[in-house]
């Protein structure tokens, strides 16, 4: 590993609106997956720091004149200022994310540098429009008022693959609702959180409303079960989601779980992949395959199988693999050596189970450092094989033949997961019919991505609850009815 002089050192944690000394001298040292250089160091929060952060969030929430009690337009104004401050730092945040997790910089600028401000503005607008109290006539003759009150102190646990975007699908609705938060980033991506919280501070987000505690999974588990927490928002692996869900089930604590996926792309016989190459790559290999909803099982009609396979092989084989910070890079490295070893073991397994590699499968010869793997396409894969069943979280696609559309849909639905999915064809009515029959939280037509205005989430082992859209705001609100209230 290479250490340079250009590392970023942070010595304090942001708790209660202040930069406070951490309880211990433990540190987290993020590493660039492109260069294997140490990028910096930040304090690692421990249980005592979590106690302080939860206490600060609790005090801010319980303050009789505090954030939760503010008029919605006052909260919305702060959120919009926060969006302005994030925009000023957008390029820096994108660079920090890209250098820590290997996301191609062109994507990081839009998603990690740009999306958080969009999310804040969307939810600021929504809370202004919705307000928090509605009046109903009452069926039994007396009027009621239904209040959408903030759920309380939120623990937000975020993964490394989209550290800002996935934080803000929690932060923006939670702030709009009037909640206060403790945010726990993943140890792989801690530096961007500092730029984010500096933006919050500069925007005048009140003390204690946002607290940030970089730490690993044990401390994350402690936060999830903390008595001062009212709601948990989690994005990460299905395995961790099950454990967090079990804790929250025991505590009867509301929880939103955004977990893993193994999404399907169904190619209809009239799909025109060459003209949709950019959309196809985005849907199936986004962020070096380290995206929960990527469509990595590709179902192609048998009578055109070899033609589609050639097209996919050409598209994937021509992608530029390189340093995440190079604007020309389309596929960056995997986040860590461990993650690459995991992906390589799946590639070996795919071959052992009879899959045929048509492109990729190795470490790129032109890169002598960094955790790179070539984007890889497997042909002749059975939907029962390991690489078609388990989430690989890397740039590995499995192309599976089908005979009838019913068979394709049945195979797409034959998965433990149900997060994303896509249908590719020129007859969009026919594609829409197929999309309706796929059992997942979201499906795209000739495209796959989320939209902040509509709900996002999974079924089966892909999660519980929804983020984004008005549904994502409701996830941070408790409903209270006041009866006989004119």
Provide the edge-to-edge strand list for the sheet that holds 144-150.
Answer: 133-136, 144-150, 477-483
Query: Residue number with the shortest CB distance to ligand NAD?
Result: 220
**Least spacing, CB of residue 435 vs ligand NAD, in Å:** 19
Q: Is 468 in the site for ligand NAD (CB under 6 A)?
A: no
Distance CA 68, CA 181 (A): 12
For ligand NAD, the closer CB: 236 or 360: 236
Work out the end-to-end distance of the chain between its first and last CA atoms, rounded to an integer number of angstroms. 68
Contact window for ligand NAD (CB under 6 A) among 84-92, 152-160, 204-212, 474-482: 152-160
258 is a catalytic site residue: yes
Q: Is 261 in the site for ligand NAD (CB under 6 A)?
A: yes
Write the DSSP string, 180-237.
EEEEE--TTS-HHHHHHHHHHHHHTPPTTTEEE----HHHHHHHHT-TT--EEEEES-
For ligand NAD, the closer CB: 111 or 207: 111
**Least spacing, CB of residue 366 vs ligand NAD, in Å:** 28
Distance CA 378, CA 395 (A): 11
For ligand NAD, the closer CB: 207 or 232: 232
Write the DSSP string, 53-87.
HHHHHHHHHH-TTSGGGS-HHHHHHHHHHHHHHHH
Are 398 and 390 in contact, with CB atoms under 8 Å apart?
no
Distance CA 158, CA 10 (A): 20
From the list 44, 87, 188, 258, the catalytic residue is: 258
Are 467 and 455 in contact, with CB atoms under 8 Å apart?
yes
Q: Is 440 in the site for ligand NAD (CB under 6 A)?
A: no
Q: In 3D, which of 473, 424, 444 has the Cα closest to residue 75?
A: 473
Are 214 and 45 in contact, with CB atoms under 8 Å apart?
yes
For ligand NAD, the closer CB: 228 or 463: 463
Q: Is 258 in the site for ligand NAD (CB under 6 A)?
A: yes
Each residue 36-75 as x (binds ligand NAD by CB under 6 A) or -, in order, gives ----------------------------------------
Looking only at residues 378 through 437 of this chain, which bind ligand NAD when binding is defined by CB under 6 A? 391, 393, 419
When binding is defined by CB under 6 A, the residue of 16, 90, 102, 260 that contacts ligand NAD is: 260
For ligand NAD, the closer CB: 255 or 267: 255
Active site residues: 258
Residues at the contact surface with ligand NAD, assessed by CB under 6 A: 157-161, 166, 184, 186, 216-217, 220-221, 224, 235-237, 240, 243-244, 258-261, 292, 391, 393, 419, 458, 463
């Amino acid at each position: 590993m290479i250490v340079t002089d250009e590392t970023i050192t942070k010595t304090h944690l942001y708790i209660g609106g202040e930069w406070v000394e951490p309880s211990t001298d433990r540190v987290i040292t993020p590493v660039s997956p492109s260069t294997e250089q140490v990028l910096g160091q930040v304090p690692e929060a421990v249980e005592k720091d979590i106690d302080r952060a939860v206490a600060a969030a609790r005090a801010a929430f319980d303050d009789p004149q505090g954030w939760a009690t503010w008029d919605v337009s006052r909260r919305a104004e702060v959120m919009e200022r926060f969006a302005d401050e994030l925009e000023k730092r957008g390029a820096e945040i994108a660079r920090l994310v890209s250098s820590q997790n290997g996301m191609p910089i062109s994507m990081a600028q839009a998603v990690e540098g740009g999306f958080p401000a969009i999310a804040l503005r969307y939810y600021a607008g929504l809370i202004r429009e919705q307000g928090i109290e509605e009046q109903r006539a009452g069926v039994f003759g007396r009027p009621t008022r239904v209040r959408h009150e903030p759920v309380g102190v939120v623990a937000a646990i975020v993964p490394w693959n989209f550290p800002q975007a996935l934080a803000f699908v929690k932060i923006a609705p939670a702030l709009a609702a009037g909640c206060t938060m403790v945010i726990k980033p993943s140890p792989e991506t801690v530096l961007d959180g500092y730029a984010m919280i500096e933006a919050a501070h500069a925007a005048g987000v009140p003390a204690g409303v946002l607290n940030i505690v970089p730490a690993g999974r044990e401390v994350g588990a402690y936060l999830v079960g903390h008595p001062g927490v009212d709601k948990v928002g989690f994005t990460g692996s299905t395995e961790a989601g099950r454990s967090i869900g079990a804790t929250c089930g025991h505590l009867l604590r509301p929880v939103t779980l955004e977990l893993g996926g193994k999404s399907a792309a169904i190619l209809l016989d009239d799909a025109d992949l060459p003209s949709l190459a950019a959309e196809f790559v985005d849907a199936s290999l986004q962020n070096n395959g380290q995206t929960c909803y990527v469509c990595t099982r590709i179902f192609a009609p048998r009578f055109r199988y070899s033609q589609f396979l050639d097209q996919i092989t050409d598209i994937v084989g021509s992608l530029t693999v390189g340093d995440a910070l190079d604007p020309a890079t389309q596929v960056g490295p995997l986040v860590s050596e461990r993650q690459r070893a995991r992906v390589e073991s799946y590639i070996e397994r795919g071959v052992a189970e009879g899959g045929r590699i048509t492109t990729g499968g190795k470490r790129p010869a032109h890169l002598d450092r960094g955790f790179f793997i070539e984007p890889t396409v497997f042909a002749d894969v059975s939907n029962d094989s390991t690489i078609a069943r388990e989430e690989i979280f890397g740039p590995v696609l499995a192309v599976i033949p089908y005979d009838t559309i019913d068979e394709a849909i049945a195979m797409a639905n034959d998965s433990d997961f149900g997060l994303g999915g896509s249908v590719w064809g020129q007859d969009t009515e026919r594609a829409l019919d197929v999309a309706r029959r796929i059992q997942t939280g979201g499906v795209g037509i000739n495209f796959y991505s989320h939209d902040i205005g509509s709900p996002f989430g999974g079924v089966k082992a892909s999660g519980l609850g929804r983020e984004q859209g008005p549904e994502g705001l409701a996830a941070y609100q408790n409903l209270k009815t006041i009866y006989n209230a004119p």
